[in-house]
A and B are shown apart, each in its own frame.
Chain A
Amino acid sequence: MSTGTPGSSTSSTPGTTMTMTPAPPRALNASRTTATAARVLRQLGHDPRTIAMMILIPCVMLFLLRYVFDGSPRTFDSIGASLLGIFPLITMFLVTSIATLRERTSGTLERLLAMPLGKGDLIAGYALAFGALAIIQSALATGLAVWFLDLDVTGSPWLLLLVALLDALLGTALGLFVSAFASSEFQAVQFMPAVIFPQLLLCGLFTPRDNMHPVLEAISDVLPMSYAVDGMNEVLTHTDVTANFLRDVLIVAGCALLVLGLGAATLRRRTP
């Protein structure tokens, strides 16, 4: 990940004395990144209810869905697989946007940025911590769906897990980014219908994307969640890694990195 912006590139430094030497661009610092990830996990550790909800709700939803479509297992296959990609995106989006908003409003972000912490370290730390949680969440949900709820996947469940993890990263990235535009928890939560719902409607979960109005189809072509769902469906119907699957995975990963980069740009060492 090369989104780590060197700390010296703040826009307004009081630079009238010209003794300023440019700091060498720092790569990610592994210890600071893992310390941040450990801290985020430790915070969650004091909040077991949140962890339980993050991990159990997707399983309960899948379970529910299985019996909603009791008479048409094919429908469950396609919707279930899509949801395996959508759950991690939504949960990580919510958790990250609230967590980073708290970090901004509690003053800890200002404190951290006045310390020798790179913005990349902070973002990578968050991505690492929530990525780890996403792995647990997706592994449980995928395992439940494939082995107990008879979700019929032609391809490897590992590929489902890979897409789910990338979706979680995308959710983390989006959450981090939008938290910069929210000044309260109320606003942060409202970004979920604003950012996630349109993608949910257009991603092909309810109806195949090529059945939509051409304008909507064109819009869905530029929304990352469409590719997350496409990727899941590729695994559902093909034994091998297809070219389309690769394209989907790369697009989701690329979007995640792009948005993480944008998120890094919203972390300012100097604020008005």
Chain B
Amino acid sequence: MNYSPGPPEKETAAHQTPAVRAETLTVVRGPRTALRDLDFTVPRGQITGLLGPSGCGKSTLMRAIVGTQAKVTGTLDVLGSPAGHPSLRTRIGYVTQAPSVYDDLTVRQNLDYFAAILDPGRAAAGRRHANVTRAIDDVDLTTYADALAGNLSGGQRSRVSLAVALLGTPELLVLDEPTVGLDPVLRRDLWNLFHDIAAQRGATLLISSHVMDEAERCHRLLLMREGEILADDTPDALRTRTRSDTVEAAFLHLVDEAIAAGRTKEAAR
């Protein structure tokens, strides 16, 4: 897993606007409100963890940020443009929870195709080839480059999906549970890769997880529950504020607080 440092001008321009800025962000899915009045920012060049129990709206929030979610109201700016703006499509890498790759293509053929969509034209063929080879190497699948994606294990397929998002040099990587179902060694390697990408390319990463021990590896955390944001802070600050030893304990503390606050509100009615 090696990296050539990203273009230097990105480092300087990176900190002008936050990577993501949301104000009164609301998303309605069918009869229910999946996200309610969210206000938050995601700083550039860091890893922000999006944590919360399954069904709390993590994936919906990610889909809103990459611009594939319908019925989004409020303000949601991504890299300085409204979410879903066509100019963002080459600047964001997005990995869905279920691996979205073609099972009837090999790993390399999958990446070749997505690379041709991101960076089309015959003139770019050499650059594409280099990008594809590097992305395969990033996710440690070089020995499987010519295997059909459908024949790989679940963890390997999700790494193919991740490699697609690493093609090109996205300024923002939105990764929905990228380490689910992976063994500890691979998880550690991927987190090292994420840190390399943030440090060397100056990219912003938004990574969701429901595994709380991964939270310790993030620079910042957004804790979510039932479509609302419970906390937006660094792991250290969270632990200190809640006087807990782990982020998990901090999260549980905040959930209890939120439930208690909900009860008093209801009682006051």
Contacts and interface: CB of A to CB of B under 8 A. Distances in A.
B139 interface: no
Interface string A146-176: 0000000000000000000000000000000
B103 A106 contact: yes
A20 B104 CA distance: 39
Interface in A5-39: 7-8, 10-17, 19-20, 23, 29, 31-32, 35-36, 38-39
A16 B22 CA distance: 11
A162 B166 CA distance: 44
Contact of A115 (B29, B83, B89, B109): B89
B74 A14 contact: yes
A114 B67 contact: yes
A214 interface: no
B30 interface: yes
Interface in B1-54: 25, 29-30
Contacts of B66: 114
A116 interface: yes
Contacts of A35: 113, 116-117, 120
A12 B67 CA distance: 10
Interface in B40-90: 64, 66-77, 81-87, 89-90
Interface stretch (B92-100, B216-224, B234-242): B92-100
Interface in B92-143: 92, 94, 96, 98-105, 109, 113-114, 116-118, 120-122
Q: Which of B69, B109, B113 has the most CB of A within 10 A?
A: B113
A32 B121 CA distance: 8
A32 B116 contact: yes
Contacts of B164: 111
A17 B84 CA distance: 13
Contacts of A46: 104-105, 148
A37 B99 CA distance: 22
A238 interface: no
B70 A12 contact: yes
User: From DSSP, what is the main secondary structure of chain A's interface residues?
Assistant: loop
A110 B30 contact: no
B86 A23 contact: yes
A59 to B, nearest CB: 25
Interface in A101-127: 106-108, 110-117
B117 A115 contact: yes
B164 to A, nearest CB: 7
Contact of A7 (B73, B86, B120): B86
B86 A43 contact: no
Contacts of B103: 106
Given A35-B116, A39-B102, A23 B87 contact: yes
Interface stretch (A195-203, A220-228, A263-271): A263-271
A111 B101 CA distance: 9
B105 A39 contact: yes
13 contacts: A12-B71, A13-B84, A14-B25, A14-B74, A19-B81, A20-B81, A31-B121, A35-B116, A35-B120, A38-B113, A106-B101, A269-B68, A270-B67
Given A7-B86, A32-B117, A272-B69, 6 more contacts: A20-B82, A32-B120, A46-B104, A107-B99, A111-B94, A269-B68
Interface of B: 25, 29-30, 64, 66-77, 81-87, 89-90, 92, 94, 96, 98-105, 109, 113-114, 116-118, 120-122, 148, 164
Sorted from nearest, which 3 A-B pairs have the closest CB atoms? A107-B100, A31-B120, A35-B116
